[in-house]
Amino acid sequence: RKQKLAEIRQALIRSSDPVDIETLKRAAASKGGLLTDEVRRKVWPKLLNINVYNLPPKPGRHVRENHKDYNQVVLDVRRSMKRFPERMPAADRGVLQEQLIDIILEVLKRNPQLHYYQGYHDVAVSLLLVVGERMAIAMLETLSNHHLRDFMDPTMDSTKHILNYLMPILEQVDAELYDFMIRAEVGTIFALSWLITWFGHVLSESKHTLRLYDFFLSSHPLMPIYLAAAIVLHREKEVKQTECDMAMVHHLLSRIPQDLPYELLICQARDLFDQYPPSLLAKQAALQSHKSLSISTFQAFQLSTLHQRPDFVLQRLTKAHMATSSGHVLKKMLHAKRGNRMVKMAVWGLSATLGAAMLAVAQTAMEWGPDVLLQLF
């Protein structure tokens, strides 16, 4: 534990650019994950390439005005009491629930291409409880445009396509289990809530949820479906001993045991991903990779995380940028003021000239035709 904490600390504060993101990813995925919420607050933003010195502001009350998803979000958040620490005072929980509503609505308002789905709040609350309101907005926005993007389409088509990866994995590893589930016609809907909430909705202990979030944040967007496959494979004896009936098998699988060996399952999911990568399964899953926004954008997103500055460098650069921006703004204001004075002087000069000209014209008109001029005015 001490050695792992030291390696994480070294990766975060190393004096040379860029941040050692690969070490942070290995730490998040390996046994025990990131160990504490304090470490998560420092590492999670790095895994998503978030500038910690340029976070979105806290949402104002206007974020709730005329929002099409407001009522549904409120209903879902009100039902999320079990996601908060059991001994948390009701007043504190109420404050966090209000923040949770605002976080979700703010991300949706900033990204009109995204569509809310029930279960989205389970992801949002996991982030809020660890990193706080402003960082949660930044992280949720990034996740929504990358890892969770396929779940945020107007229809469920992309989500169902992602679920389609589950059965080909099972077929590769355990053909007998695969055949049993095909005969039972159970499908993959039992794993829907696992996938779209990153298991946050189905696990009762937050320590297990956060351990999985460490893993998923450091992995490919499809890793949750590989973990789902690892869980089904782990329970293959239970499944095969169940009556080969859709309702019975679905009932068994949809109720996930709370005492699963998570570290073992994470290792197995990683092994499954290495042996049967998405590119190998895409045809069987009836999904071309380019149709999945989560998959198609992941490589570029992954590359972007490799060029992050350490926090102390980022802070210095941010301050320098702010100072430079302030200087530019001041120069523009001074230039604008000078420009305004020049414009005013020009207008005054032009007005005086036009006034003199009009007076001359009037005087000439009065001399040549006073009756005509009086008719015009």
Is residue 324, in this structure, part of any structural domain at all?
A: no
- Does residue 165 share a domain with residue 297? yes
Point out the domain boundary residue: 132, 151, 170.
151
Say whether pLDDT at 373 is over 70: no
Of the candidates 306, 325, 353, which is a domain's last residue?
A: 306
Residues 79 and 29 in one domain: yes
Q: Long-range contact list for 140-145, CB < 8 A, 24+ apart?
A: 140/103, 140/104, 140/107, 141/56, 141/107, 141/110, 141/111, 142/48, 142/49, 142/50, 143/48, 144/107, 144/111, 144/114, 145/111, 145/114, 145/297
Residue where a domain terminates, one of 135, 151, 167: 151
* pLDDT value at residue 334: 45
Q: How far is Cα 114 from Cα 145, in angstroms, rounded to an integer?
A: 8
Q: Are residues 106 and 221 in the same domain?
A: no
User: Does 78 share its domain with 101?
Assistant: yes
Distance CA(369)–CA(377), nearest Å, equals: 13
Is residue 114 domain-shared with residue 245, that is, in the same domain?
no
110, 139: one domain: yes
User: Quick one: pLDDT at residue 163?
Assistant: 94
Looking at the structure, tell me whether residues 118 and 131 fall in a common domain. Answer: yes
**Does 347 fall in a domain?**
no
**Is 99 part of any domain?**
yes
pLDDT at 128 over 50: yes
Same domain for 114 and 175? no
Output the pLDDT for position 305.
75
Do 165 and 283 fall into the same domain?
yes
- Would you say residue 360 lies in a domain? no
Sequential DSSP letters for 78-98: HT-GGGS-TTS-HHHHHHHHH
> What was the pLDDT predicted at 133?
97
Which tops the pLDDT comparison, 170 or 301?
170
Looking up residue 66, the CATH number of its domain turns out to be 1.10.8.1310
Structural domain includes residue 50: yes
Joined together, the tokens standing for residue 117 give 């789905």
Q: For 238-261, how does the pLDDT look when each residue is reduced to its tens digit (9 = 90+)?
A: 999 999 999 999 999 999 998 999
Q: Look at the pTM and tell me if it is higher than 0.85.
A: no
Mean pLDDT of the chain: 84
pLDDT tens for each residue of 38-59: 999 999 999 999 999 899 999 9
Domain membership of residue 180 (yes or no) is yes
* Residue 366 binned pLDDT confidence (cut-offs 50, 70, 90): very low
Neighbours of 215 (CB within 10 A): 25
243 domain residue, yes or no? yes
**Same-domain status, 138 and 185:** no
How many Cα atoms sit within 13 Å of 233 on the Cβ side?
A: 23
Question: Domain span at residue 119?
Answer: 1-151
More confident residue, 306 or 224: 224
Q: Domains in the chain: how many in total?
A: 2
- pLDDT higher at 291 or 217: 217
Q: Do residue 124 and residue 205 come from a single domain?
A: no
Query: Do 206 and 296 lie in a common domain?
Result: yes
pLDDT band at 202 (very low <50, low <70, confident <90, very high): very high
Residue 341: inside a domain? no
Q: What is the CATH number of the domain that holds 220?
A: 1.10.472.80
Q: Is 296 exposed, middle or buried (0-12, 13-18, 19+ CB in 10 A)?
A: middle
Q: What pLDDT was estimated at residue 266?
A: 98
